[in-house]
Amino acid sequence: MNKKLLYSLLFLGFALVFNSCKDDEPLPEPQPQPVTGIQPGQGVFITNEGGFQAGNATVGYWKYSDTSITGDLFQPANQQPLGDICQSMTIVGNKGYVVVNNSGKVEVVNLNDFKRVATITGLTSPRYFLPVNSSKAYVTDLFGGSVSIVNLATNSVSGTISIPGWTEAMILIDDEVFVCNTDHDKLYVIDSQTDLLTDSITVTRGAVNLALDANEKLWVLCAGDVPSAIAGGLYRINPSTHQVEQSFTLTASYSIKGLSMNPNRDTLYYINTDAWRMAISATQLPTASFLSGAANAWYALGIAPNGEIYIGDAIDYVQPSVVYRYSPSGILQSNKRSGILSGSFTFY
Amino acid sequence: MRYTQLSYPVAVFLALVLCSTLQAQDTLHTYNLMDVVIEASREESGSRGLRNDEPDSLMLAQSDQASLATVLNRSGIQIKSYGNGALASIAIRGANATQTSLIWNGINLQSSTYGQSDFSLLPAFLFDRVSIQPGSTTANWGSGAIGGAVLLQTDQPKENLHIRAGALNGSFGENGQGLLLSGRHKNLSGSIRGVRQRVVNNFPYQDNLSPGAQGSEKQLQHAGFFQQATMGDVWWQPKPTLGFSAHIWLQDAIRDIPPTLVQSFSNAVQTDRVARVLLKSTVVPGGYQQHRITTRIAFLNDKLVYENGFSETDSTRVNTLIAETEWRYITPRYTLFAGVNNTWQQAEVTGYIPLRQLNRTALFALMDIIFQQNFRLAIQARAEQVAGNLIQPVGSIGIDWKPLQWIRILGNISRNYRLPTFNDLYWNPGGNPLLRPEKSWNQECTIEAKQAIKNVEIRYGITGFNRQVTDWILWAPLNALWTPQNILQVWSRGFEHRFNVEYAIGKWQIAIQANYDYVRATSQKPISPNDQSIGKQLIYVPAHRAMGLLTIRYGAWGVSYGHQYTAHRFTSSDHRTYLPEYDEAIATVFTQLKIKSISNQPALVDVFIRINNCWDERYQSVAFRPMPGRSFQVGMRIDLQITKRLLNSTIQQSNQ
């Protein structure tokens, strides 16, 4: 009987010792306070995609005078998460139009306090938002097979323009809208007064960004198609004649993105693993990169009104990004933690 | 005269043989080569020293029309569920779904393409025995068993005729039916069963996302699920030294994929179709009574089609052919196993063209020794060649020791690996054909104590485990291209308590089961220069889980209450976001009626009424996929068994 008791106690003791070898991790901090009083010229909005179907898309704000980036403007202001995959943001006056790709909506917010004014629904998988005049805007789409027309007064979809496949970034030049068609090799042209498709310009697969230079020429950056090894490229197009004036070839890569112009619009910048810059008058692609991003996963590039260059590093696409700020000559000024998968910079 | 003189001893011998086979159900199996209960099987010997968990038998009997996801979840196993009837994957001790093997009648069903099994697509009605080995070994089951194995068995029918019919009706358009017919006659037995499940899943959830919603209730849309399956089994034993069996499993499922809480709508649909055939033979080679040669041949065909609702269709078609021969040598002091397994896999996947195939051959050996009545030791090893490359051999050592009559100590150390899947190797773009297998060192120790005092029986067990996984495959970006890499290193450790009390007096029976699991599974090596996840718990691994089940029976009536607690789970590797802890409780009232039947035994009719998620807890197992709140079920099962008395008629026949 004593032996049984001894063994039982030993056993219990062993179990208790095991039990005490626990160390628990603390839970994260509670929600931050809403940010108010955002004024023009004080900072930059950073859209953060988040993970696909992880519902953690955010819009962050880097106020130049702050030591850290405010990670999430939308949730504290509206008591609801923004949604899934925030692709882009466009500013019209004092309002922000935030495109949430996998939630099928565009959130319209007051830039001052990021409170929601309206939500544009009825979209399939929107990508970019472009106002074409004071009363309407176009929204491109990944799966919808069309560009939606939005009535800016009612914040609702009033019609669609059928374009096959995936439409991406757009630019408005003299009442004509040029639309990237990523899974085809064309740039489509829409007459913004009639909402009709008028022309297409052949480039290559993977068109992602557009920019207008100081000579009023349109530049298109194409990433190519990696699975079928179709090369990407950089094209200079005359927007009046719709002719391709110059083209440069790039090896297809998922890292090609972020086409931007400096404030003088005489130099263009883009990411292709590293950050590259090229004068608009150049006759060949640069041989050396401007800034090296090889050890990282550079995902976003933006240029501030004062010429500073902002680069978003996705790290592993799951953790919060790091945003680097460089002087116009390429000297690192500062870096801060941002949201998950920072994808674009919208300077305000 | 000579005839009858000879025939009488033969008749007595036969009578004794048949007598023992029919009357004593256990010794039936001594002469039944198909069944692996009494003679040490590779399943048992190869798992020496590992703890085996089985779902509560009453709960299993009341889960005829449920999937294994539900059964395992209620048994305290961690199931990551994307919704009711949606994808349900298993996570044992912080390992992921691809690191858990699914074994059906000794055959590894692991998918060559994504390497994991969807437990919602495993109807519980198809299997007679389900067991979970949290600490299983690759040496026993082959590639993949780093984080445990789930074993599914179909048993040979014992009764001459057995009919079981079940039906279930529940909230949110749930209904299910099942029918089983089995029988045996002389040296032939077989069973056929069919099951059907359907649920609409339009349960209410709190909408916190749509503009102006502010927590109002919405009904889940486009979340229906339909599944039907048939399983047929045949056993034939033409001679005492020769036995065959054949098993066929056909299944069809279609699932509407609902939108997540952050999507406005979804039109996605997924269909899964499965055809699995297994042929088995066991031979006692001429005159060598101590030898057994078992051969298994399995052909598995899987097809999965996913339509995302935007005219994009992805399909995966997989064919697998497994051929395995095992030689067994049985002596009173030890059993030896040795064999060879060849697995050929072929996959046709939208994500990569052309067709891919792979052939692997493995040699295995196992020695299970009985030192004394109370001490057993098993050592096993396995070496595999994959497409001409030899994988580092693995093995395990396990002990099963009873130092005293009421204490049992189990221990096991093993080295394991998991081969990369076809998707990891060949996906375009990104697939990495240079991937190495994941590797692990696993250690596990269990101490169990059992005491019976008067009418009370108490059992308590505690298991401590430790597992180091290296070269864990993770899809991560490399130069802006997502590609799988052997970059993660995970250390899982913890302990599991298992406590049971049973009390019977008169017509009363009270049973209490209580489990508590603690897992610490942390990332040990940075995966990128700015990695913030070092030393932190992996995502979706709760540190604490607890389960309690109280069953009270009085005669033919009973009531049970089960309660489960799951701690918070982090949803980002740097722990900035998490899903809160939750409780889920189930209450059941049940009874068994006996109805006179044509057989010598009454037909048993079991009826139960159940409330799932009694306290209407709104929770998520996977972020942004709502789980149902309170729901009701009513279920019924009729069981009829007929055993003919053959004994008298057999002796009369042999006397003639």
| pLDDT reported for residue B274 | 95
B 573-592 near A (Cβ less than 8 A)? 573-578
Task: Indicate if the pLDDT at residue B500 is higher than 80.
Answer: yes
List C-alpha distances in Å: B65 to B169, B186, B229. Answer: 9, 32, 11
| pLDDT reported for residue B656 | 40
Is-contact B13 B7, C-beta < 8 A? no
Most confident of A34-38, B15-19, B616-620: B616-620
| pLDDT reported for residue B118 | 93
| pLDDT tens profile B36-52 | 334 678 888 889 999 99
B447 touching chain A per CB within 8 A: yes
Task: Indicate if the pLDDT at residue A308 is higher than 90.
Answer: yes
Classify residue B299 by burial, with Cβ atoms within 10 Å: 0-12, 13-18, 19+.
middle
Task: Indicate if the pLDDT at residue A208 is higher than 90.
Answer: yes
Helix extents (H) in B347-465: 422-426
Contact B262 A83 (CB under 8 A): yes
Distance CA A222, CA A186 (A): 10
Residue A242, both tokens: 């719709």
Contact B578 A318 (CB under 8 A): no
Contact B543 A319 (CB under 8 A): no
Q: Choose, out of A103, A205, A270, A335, the residue to mutate when testing the contact with B (most B CBs < 10 Å).
A: A103
| pLDDT tens profile B249-292 | 999 999 999 988 888 889 999 999 999 999 999 999 887 888 99
Backbone angles phi and psi of B621, in degrees to 5? -90, -35
| Nearest-neighbour CA in chain B from A297: distance (Å) | 6
Give contacts of B405 with chain A, Cβ < 8 Å: none
Q: What is the CA radius of gyration of chain B?
A: 26
| Nearest-neighbour CA in chain A from B429: distance (Å) | 5
Q: What is the largest CA-CA distance in chain A?
A: 102
| pLDDT tens profile B325-349 | 999 999 989 999 999 999 999 999 9
Q: Choose, out of A48, A99, A316, the residue to mutate when testing the contact with B (most B CBs < 10 Å).
A: A316
| pLDDT reported for residue B243 | 93
| pLDDT reported for residue B19 | 34
In B, minimum Cα distance to A7 occurs at B407
| pLDDT reported for residue B212 | 63
In B, minimum Cα distance to A13 occurs at B462
Q: Choose, out of A12, A22, A53, A107, the residue to mutate when testing the contact with B (most B CBs < 10 Å).
A: A53
Give contacts of A54 with chain B, Cβ < 8 Å: 571, 623-624
Residue B320, both tokens: 């697998």
Give contacts of A83 with chain B, Cβ < 8 Å: 209, 262
In A, minimum Cα distance to B209 occurs at A80
| pLDDT reported for residue A11 | 63
In B, minimum Cα distance to A122 occurs at B264
| pLDDT reported for residue B653 | 44
Backbone angles phi and psi of B212, in degrees to 5? 80, 0
| pLDDT tens profile B288-321 | 888 999 999 999 999 999 998 887 889 999 999 9
Contact A28 B578 (CB under 8 A): yes
Instruction: Name the 3-class secondary structure at B12.
Output: helix
- Reported for B57-63, long-range contacts at CB under 8 A and 24+ positions apart, including other chains, are B58/B551, B58/B558, B58/B560, B59/B549, B59/B560, B59/B562, B60/B124, B60/B130, B61/B606, B61/B637, B62/B588, B62/B590, B62/B606, B62/B608, B62/B610, B62/B635, B63/B124
Q: Kindly state the average pLDDT of the residues B583-600.
A: 89
Distance CA A236, CA A280 (A): 9
In A, minimum Cα distance to B462 occurs at A15
Contact B574 A254 (CB under 8 A): no
Of B13-17, B328-332, B620-624, the poorest mean pLDDT is in B13-17
Half-sphere exposure of B75 (CA within 13 A, CB side): 25
Is-contact B625 B83, C-beta < 8 A? yes
| pLDDT reported for residue B598 | 72
| pLDDT reported for residue A3 | 61
Q: Choose, out of A292, A315, A342, the residue to mutate when testing the contact with B (most B CBs < 10 Å).
A: A315
Distance CA B172, CA B633 (A): 10
Chain mean pLDDT for chain A: 90
Nearest Cβ partner for A18 among B213, B260, B464: B464
B405 touching chain A per CB within 8 A: no
Q: Kindly state the average pLDDT of the residues B144-163.
A: 90
List C-alpha distances in Å: A293 to A290, A346, B354, B615. Answer: 10, 22, 34, 53
Q: Which of B112, B93, B109 is nearest to B101 (CA)?
A: B109
Distance CA B90, CA B134 (A): 11
Q: Which of A311, A236, A239 is nearest to A279 (CA)?
A: A236
Task: Indicate if the pLDDT at residue A33 is higher than 50.
Answer: yes
| pLDDT reported for residue B39 | 65
| pLDDT reported for residue B13 | 37
Q: Kindly state the average pLDDT of the residues B72-81.
A: 89
Give contacts of A319 with chain B, Cβ < 8 Å: 530-533, 572-574
Chain mean pLDDT for chain B: 87
Q: What is the CA radius of gyration of chain A?
A: 24
| pLDDT reported for residue B60 | 87
Is-contact B180 B155, C-beta < 8 A? no
What percentage of chain B has pLDDT greater than the value 70? 91
Q: Kindly state the average pLDDT of the residues B631-643.
A: 91
Q: Choose, out of A1, A25, A250, the residue to mutate when testing the contact with B (most B CBs < 10 Å).
A: A25
Indicate the residue type of B199. V
Distance CA A55, CA B622 (A): 11
Nearest Cβ partner for A104 among B263, B308, B576: B263
In B, minimum Cα distance to A223 occurs at B480
| Nearest-neighbour CA in chain B from A304: distance (Å) | 24
Nearest Cβ partner for B529 among A102, A105, A295: A295
| pLDDT tens profile B167-201 | 999 999 999 999 999 999 889 999 999 999 999 99
| pLDDT tens profile B56-74 | 888 888 888 899 999 999 8
Give contacts of B404 with chain A, Cβ < 8 Å: 7
**Strand runs labelled E in A192-229:** 196-202, 207-212, 218-222
Q: How many CB atoms lie within 10 A of CB B401?
A: 16
pTM for this predicted structure: 0.85
Task: Indicate if the pLDDT at residue A120 is higher than 80.
Answer: yes
Task: Indicate if the pLDDT at residue B634 is higher than 80.
Answer: yes
Give the neighbor-by-neighbor strand order of the sheet with A267-272: A256-261, A267-272, A274-279
Contact A226 B213 (CB under 8 A): no
Contact A294 B265 (CB under 8 A): no
| Nearest-neighbour CA in chain B from A104: distance (Å) | 6
Q: Strand pairing of B438-453 and B407-418?
A: antiparallel
Model confidence at B2, pLDDT cuts 50, 70, 90, reads very low
What percentage of chain A has pLDDT greater than the value 70? 92
Residue with tokens 């403007």: A73
Is-contact A255 A242, C-beta < 8 A? no
Q: Kindly state the average pLDDT of the residues A69-73.
A: 90
Q: Which of B291, B334, B199 is nearest to B254 (CA)?
A: B199
In A, minimum Cα distance to B483 occurs at A316
Is-contact B119 B152, C-beta < 8 A? no
| pLDDT tens profile B552-579 | 999 999 999 999 999 999 988 888 889 9
In B, minimum Cα distance to A9 occurs at B449
B 532-561 near A (Cβ less than 8 A)? 532-533, 536-537, 543
Is-contact B629 B204, C-beta < 8 A? yes
| pLDDT reported for residue A51 | 87
Model confidence at A175, pLDDT cuts 50, 70, 90, reads very high
DSSP B43-66: HHHTTTT---B---HHHHHTTTTS
| pLDDT tens profile B435-487 | 999 999 999 999 999 999 888 999 999 999 999 999 999 888 776 678 899 98
| pLDDT tens profile A178-190 | 999 998 999 999 9
Distance CA B166, CA B126 (A): 12
Give contacts of B479 with chain A, Cβ < 8 Å: 253, 255, 273, 294
Residue B278, both tokens: 């297994």
Task: Indicate if the pLDDT at residue A324 is higher than 70.
Answer: yes
Distance CA A69, CA A165 (A): 36
Of B96-105, B178-187, B203-212, the poorest mean pLDDT is in B203-212
Query: What's the DSSP call for residue B598?
Result: S
Please name every residue paired with B330 in a beta bridge, in sequence order, or none if there are none: B335
Nearest Cβ partner for B209 among A83, A316, A340: A83
Nearest Cβ partner for B480 among A27, A116, A297: A297
Residue A43, both tokens: 């900072």
Write the ipTM.
0.81
Q: Kindly state the average pLDDT of the residues B80-108.
A: 91
Task: Indicate if the pLDDT at residue A307 is higher than 80.
Answer: yes
Model confidence at A20, pLDDT cuts 50, 70, 90, reads low
Model confidence at A6, pLDDT cuts 50, 70, 90, reads low
Contact A319 B572 (CB under 8 A): yes
Nearest Cβ partner for A80 among B208, B477, B479: B208
Distance CA B522, CA B94 (A): 9
Task: Indicate if the pLDDT at residue A4 is higher than 80.
Answer: no
Backbone angles phi and psi of B395, in degrees to 5? -170, 180
